[in-house]
Each structure stands twice: as C-alpha cells, then as structure tokens.
C-alpha cells in the first residue's frame, strides 16, 4: 500500500496532487488547441441528438452532482442549452417528465452508483438519449448508457473524491465547447481562446498546489471550528458546496455551502466570531458583489478566508486570510478554486487525526439504495 501511495501519506493527498496530470490525461487526444478541434467520438457520433435536444438533464450523486452543477453553468453560458441538474435518487422516484427530445447526462466516478443507474434506466425507458461520464472503464453505468466519455483520471482510492471531480468538469467543458461551436453560440475566435486556456489549466493547478504550506497554516487556525460556511457565486457556487462536502466527509466538522447572495436569507444569522467563512472571490465572476458579501460577514465579526485571484488587493484588505489561485477565464475557475478547498479539508482532517482515506460511515461507491 505504501508503494501505491507513491510517497504520500494518504491516497487523498496523492490524488489531489495527481490533478495536473489527470486533467491532462482527460483532454489528451481530444483537445487539439493548435488545430482548433475537440475530438470526442461519443459526441461526434451523436451530435444530432445533442443539437436537437430540448434540454439536457444531468443526473448524479455526491461530488459528481456538484460537477453536474458546474456543468449547468458551463452548458447554459457557453452553449446556450437549457440544463437541469438532478439528484439521481430524487429524479428516479418523482415521476419526472422525460421525452425522446431530452438528452440525459449521467455523471459517476465509479459507474456503479445504484441511484444513478436507476435514473439512467428510467430515462432510457422514456426514450431519452443517455450519455455517461464515468471514470471506471467498463463499469455498469458506462455499459448501460447509449454513449459516453471517460474521464481517464486513473484509479481514485480515497473515499473523498478529488481528481474525479476536476476531471469530470474537464470532460463536461470539452462537451460544452464542442456543442457551443457546433450550434453557433460561440465564435471561432472565442472557441480557440477557450481551448488555449483549457490547455494551460494543468500548469495552473500545479501552481495552485504550491500554496499548500500556507493552506496548512490556515487549516491549523481553524481546525477546531464546530461549523464552517462556504460561499461562492455563479460558477463557484457549486465549488462552495463541494468545499463544504469535503470538510464534512473527512473531518466531521459541520459545514454548509451556500450561494453568497443567499446568505442573507438564513446563514447570516449564524455568523459570529467563532464562524470561519470560506469565500470564493476570484476576479472573473461577480467579484464586486462577492466583495460586498464579504463586508457583510466582516461587520458581523465572521472570520473570512478568501480564495482569490493572484495579486488580489480588495479582498486582502478585509479578509483574515487569503489563498491565491492563478487567473483564468470564468468558466474554468472551478478547476482552480477547488484545489485549496481540497487541501484545507485534507489538512484539517489529518490534524484532527481522522481516517482521511476511509471516513466513518461512508463508502467509495454506493451500490445499494
Ligand atoms: C459516494 C462517494 C462520493 C461520490 C458519490 C457518487 O458517496 O463517497 O465520493 O461522489 O458516492 O459516486 P459516483 O461513483 O457515482 O461518482
């Protein structure tokens, strides 16, 4: 097992650090930035299905559902296709309206999650075209779907999902870009610049990982918190949900993710000087609005940890700590802002002496209801 961990103390830490390569493996052979092409057989062969779809319904569970939420922003913003994101466990039992004009995308790292599989079967029985985004090659969901694209993240052993999440977002970005170009929602020039920026992401993730030492110091300060709040807007709202989930899963600290602006309708009542609030406040994406949300937290004595773009000035002035990530285009920020939140949860769990790779009560893949 020590050999499998490749010198890291835990699989989770290894998998966090594998992300630059995992993301590169995800787009290898698919993203041809110089030629301005995205090649994905599963999409190319079924392009008409996607282009004629009334909407895309994404079904998933857990972290994969968070990747689905990020994809909702990506597909609607870039490709102008209406998207609904559903917990597979709710979708399968709520008698949903599905027709043969719907495309369903099922996201699953393991490809074995029982609820997701049942949602796929239901959608297929109603005539929808079902596309799978799985990591495990040959898994049940990969076989049950009409077509699909693997994430190629390599084995993920840690129960708390890390590289599966960022590689799912990468695949979904590739699909959205391909559709945006095919349906004319994106100009050739903008498409090219997206491809070039996506190609730079692995190096930027590598840079984001360099903040590890500083993140460990921040983790040490907040490790004894009883509750934490995670806030983000737009593309980074699902990242806030994922950040909170990571902390809950492995450190057993109660954490909630919320859209930053929605805070005033509830969670703001919880804020006092004992409440760390992790706020994603990158330059691209409602920056001024998030800064004013941060001021609202500050005036209630909350402790603010900002996830900011390198060189940020405004958040630094008001936050207790900032963690920097490199700059990128808005739709790709989740791939970077997720990294410090993964590391933070990891370090807090280690400091609290928790079983990081196999947290209590959780399973890597939930194959029963
Ligand atoms: C379990 C795992 C999570 C995962 C979820 C969905 O709860 O602990 O990490 O996100 O299942 O799994 P899937 O394999 O379908 O992505």
Phi/psi of residue 363, each to 5°? -125, 150
Return the pLDDT at 3.
81
Whose CA is closest to 244, among 263, 260, 231, 234?
231
> What residues contact 160, with CB distance under 8 A and at least 6 apart?
12, 63, 246, 249, 250, 345, 356, 359
Residue nearest to atom 7 of ligand 1 (CA): 62
Residues noted as catalytic:
364
State the maximum Cα–Cα separation within the chain, in Å, rounded to a whole number: 56
Bridging pattern class, strands 227-232 and 147-150: unpaired
Return the pLDDT at 161.
98
Taking the centre of ligand 1 as the mean of its atom positions, its distance from the CA of residue 107, in whole angstroms, is 10
Tell me, using a 6 A CB cutoff, whether residue 26 lines ligand 1. Answer: no
Residue recorded with tokens 């995308």: 105
Tell me, using a 6 A CB cutoff, whether residue 170 lines ligand 1. Answer: no
Q: What is the pLDDT of residues 52-101, one digit of tens each?
A: 999 999 999 999 999 999 999 999 999 999 999 999 999 999 999 999 99
Residue nearest to atom 8 of ligand 1 (CA): 364
Return the pLDDT at 349.
98
Q: By the 8 A CB rule, do 118 and 92 touch?
A: yes
Return the pLDDT at 2.
78
Q: What is the pLDDT of residues 245-266, one digit of tens each?
A: 999 999 999 999 999 999 999 9
CA angle 351, 236, 315 (to 5 degrees): 75
Return the pLDDT at 1.
78
Distances (CA, A) of 82 to 74, 102, 133, 134, 332: 11, 10, 19, 22, 19
CA distance 260 to 282: 13
Give the three-class secondary structure for 309. strand
Q: By the 8 A CB rule, do 67 and 83 touch?
A: no
Alpha helices in 126-236 (DSSP H): 140-144, 163-182, 188-209, 212-222
Residue nearest to atom 11 of ligand 1 (CA): 365
Regions of the chain short of the pLDDT cut 50: none
Q: What atom of ligand 1 comes closest to residue 249's alpha carbon? A: 8
Taking the centre of ligand 1 as the mean of its atom positions, its distance from the CA of residue 366, in whole angstroms, is 7
Taking the centre of ligand 1 as the mean of its atom positions, its distance from the CA of residue 286, in whole angstroms, is 30
Tell me, using a 6 A CB cutoff, whether residue 109 lines ligand 1. Answer: yes
Token code pair at residue 7: 């010198």
Alpha helices in 211-270 (DSSP H): 212-222, 237-251
Taking the centre of ligand 1 as the mean of its atom positions, its distance from the CA of residue 245, in whole angstroms, is 11
CA distance 238 to 255: 14
Distances (CA, A) of 205 to 198, 310, 334: 11, 13, 11
């Amino acid at each position: 097992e020590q050999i499998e961990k490749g010198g890291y103390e835990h699989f989770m830490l290894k998998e966090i650090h594998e992300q630059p390569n995992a993301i590169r493996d995800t787009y290898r052979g698919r993203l041809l930035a110089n030629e301005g092409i995205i090649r994905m057989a599963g999409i190319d062969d079924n392009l008409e299905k996607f282009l004629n779809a009334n909407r895309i319904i994404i079904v998933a569970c857990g972290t994969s559902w968070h990747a689905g939420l990020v994809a909702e922003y990506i597909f609607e913003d870039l490709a102008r296709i209406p998207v609904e994101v559903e917990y597979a466990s709710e979708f399968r039992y709520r008698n949903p309206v599905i027709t043969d004009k719907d495309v369903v995308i099922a996201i699953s790292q393991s490809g074995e999650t029982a609820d997701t599989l049942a949602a796929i079967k239901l959608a297929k029985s109603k005539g929808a075209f079902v596309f799978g985004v799985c990591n495990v090659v040959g898994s049940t969901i990969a076989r049950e779907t009409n077509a699909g694209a693997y994430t190629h993240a390599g084995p993920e052993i840690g129960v708390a999902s890390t590289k599966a999440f960022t590689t799912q977002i990468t695949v979904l970005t590739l699909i959205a870009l391909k559709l945006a170009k095919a349906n004319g929602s994106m100009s050739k020039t903008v498409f090219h610049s997206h491809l070039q920026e996506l190609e730079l992401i692995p190096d930027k993730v590598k840079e984001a990982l360099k903040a590890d030492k500083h993140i460990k110091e921040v983790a040490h300060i907040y490790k004894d918190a009883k509750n934490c709040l995670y806030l983000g807007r737009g593309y980074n709202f699902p990242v806030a949900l994922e950040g909170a989930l990571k902390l809950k899963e492995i450190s057993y600290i109660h954490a909630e993710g919320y859209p930053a602006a929605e805070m005033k309708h509830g969670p703001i009542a919880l804020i006092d000087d004992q409440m760390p609030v992790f706020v994603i406040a990158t330059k691209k994406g409602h920056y001024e609005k998030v800064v004013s949300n941060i001021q609202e937290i500050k005036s209630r004595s909350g402790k603010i940890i900002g996830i900011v773009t390198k060189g940020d000035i405004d958040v630094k002035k008001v936050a207790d700590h900032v963690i920097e990530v490199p700059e990128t285009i808005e739709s790709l920020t989740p791939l970077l802002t997720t990294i410090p939140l993964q590391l933070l949860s990891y370090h807090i769990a280690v400091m609290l002496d928790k079983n990081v790779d196999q947290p209590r009560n959780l399973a890597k893949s939930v194959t029963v209801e």
